[in-house]
Amino acid sequence: MKQIPAPLWTLTIGVAITLISLWYGQNHGLLPEQASEQAVLVDELFNSMVVMGTALFLVMEGAILYCMIQFRQRQGDETDGPAIEGNLPLEAFWTAIPTILVIGLGLYSFQVFQEIGGITPGHVAHDHGTMIAQAGDAPLPGGLSAPGEGPLVAENGVFGLGAPLENEDTAADLQVDVAGMQYAWIFTYPEGNIIDGELHVPIGADVQLNISAKDVIHSFWVPQFRLKQDAIPGKKTALRFIANKEGSYPVVCAELCGGYHGSMRTQVIVHSPEDYQAWYDRRVAQAPGTQTIAKAPADLSAEEYLSPYSEDLGVSSDLIANLSIK
């Protein structure tokens, strides 16, 4: 039987590895559903890395298995193997290929980071530290601003993810202040005087989150949006996104922040424009002058801190009122 030429074997194996890698890179099922425009960009980068990683895995593991079989010690063979000292072209080849791949991925990831707003989180005009709206701005119903109008999105020096470079001076449609505290997220809609323990946004709206922390470092993470931003005490951070799929998605604190870190969860609810408007109008009608969603334990008096436990413990409220913790 005529032996198949080595170049043909190499070509066949190369094509097979390429096809398998491309297929798995698009069908790995390792990520949750996409629910934001930014998620599409991040997933494309991740899929490219999976394609490359799969190809490298198949090549390296295939080479190891081939060598284990082809160059195994045969029964009764006590001779030494050939004295191979090195192969400069081969070493240059396997050094150059990973170098090119790593540089390419680095440039690609930088481009994605730029496109999701990591280069310029945002700017705003200041008047002695106060945010200034553009002249003639008029907020639309539901706390939304007309495209290109309204106050700009963040303060100079803010950290985080803002608008892409081409939209860095464009206002967001909706701004929400987000405060992280042990162990809750508090969402404030300044336009409607709404405070809520859940984030509500309309689908397709350009949303700007202005994030802060009341005590320790937290991290605002929505896996379905592929976005994560730390909440840092004393620092202003920002996160800007466009949700493109209706539904409820978990908001997770991804920074160890204390004993109940694992329970610091809430959700972001993406509404249709009509449903969001109905929710907004209902909440505006219900909103009192001030609302308390959660309060840091350090800010509570001894009576306020202990009173929720008095009934369960069978302790009278009068005794709780007379307690003094030094």
How does pLDDT run across 243-261, given as a tens digit for each residue? 999 999 999 999 999 999 9
Range of weakest confidence among 10-24, 113-127, 130-144: 130-144
**Highest averaged pLDDT of the listed ranges 53-57, 167-171, 283-287:** 53-57
For residue 234, pLDDT over 60 is answered with yes
107 and 206 in a common domain: no
110 and 193 in a common domain: no
Amino acid 75: pLDDT: 86
266 and 164 in a common domain: yes
Amino acid 145: pLDDT: 57
Q: Which amino acid is at 310?
A: S
Rounded to whole angstroms, the Cα distance separating 223 from 32 reads 7
The crossing angle, in degrees rounded to 10, of helices 37-70 and 88-115 is: 160
Number of domains in the chain: 2
Tell me the helices (H) and strands (E) count for the chain, helix number first: 6, 13
Q: What is the CATH number of the domain that holds 199?
A: 2.60.40.420
Residue 200 domain boundaries: 151-290
Averaged pLDDT for residues 25-38: 92
Question: What is the DSSP code string of 242-275?
Answer: EB-S-EEEEEEE-S--STTGGG-EEEEEEEPHHH
Averaged pLDDT for residues 187-193: 87
Rounded to whole angstroms, the Cα distance separating 125 from 151 reads 9
Rounded to whole angstroms, the Cα distance separating 271 from 287 reads 20
202 and 108 in a common domain: no
- 142 found inside a domain: no
Instruction: Tell me, yes or no, if the pTM score tops 0.85.
Output: no
Amino acid 130: pLDDT: 32
- List Cβ neighbours of 293 (8 Å cut-off, separation of 6 or more): 184, 186, 195, 196, 197
Other C-beta atoms closer than 10 Å to the C-beta of 33 total 10
Token digits of residue 293: 């969603």
Amino acid 309: pLDDT: 54
